[in-house]
Structure 1
């Protein structure tokens, strides 16, 4: 019997497991460590082109709109481990991160 190269559609994709978070991939690009308030924070910039979803900034409570450069920030010294810290990351306006965490 000949093999079909057609897509199997939504039903086949629905059975595939959801990929896990790849911590190394998420933390590999332009990430830096900053110390604020006696704690270490991972700070990773997001360019205008990479910003495709809206988020709420914890500094001002306003939306970080798609297409706006911003920062993704998460604990670098958390006690629950890297996966938990990465899951708790937040998207900040650049100016909010500078002002609120001085």
Structure 2
């Protein structure tokens, strides 16, 4: 009789239910906090696929066209609260953000 080379423990593990994925925690990993000029900023990348609208980059004054990967940045330590900070977010070219917001 032929002998099986498959582990018996593997079959029991494959039947175990998978834990639910927490989408919020997975996507929050893309957002990061940076300190620039003594201010704290939330910075979140936008992929080519997610970039569906045109925005004006505050760093260079040029348009960020749809389909171009870029960053969204907003204050993390504003005095008017989180809602006001989020409402004042700006879309930046990646290069313009790297050389520094003014």
TM surpasses 0.5? yes
Note the alpha carbon deviations across 1:14-41, whole angstroms, 9 max, x for none: xxxxxxxxxx8xx836110000000100
Q: Unaligned stretches of 5+ in structure 2?
A: 1-23
Residue 57 (structure 2) pairs with residue 57 (structure 1): yes
Q: Which has the larger radius of gyration?
A: 2
Quote the residue 2:46 is aligned against.
46
The 1:29–1:50 alpha-carbon spacing in structure 2 relative to 1, beyond 3 Å, is farther
8 A Cα contact 1:57 1:91, kept in partner: yes
Please list every run of at least 4 consecutive aligned residues from structure 1 whose deviation after the TM superposition is greater than 3 angstroms. none
TM-score by length of 1: 0.71
Equivalent pair of 2:45/2:70 in contact (CA under 8 Å):
yes
CA contact (8 A) 2:36 2:100 kept: no
RMSD: 1.8
Aligned to 1:68: 68
Give the structure-2-normalised TM-score: 0.71
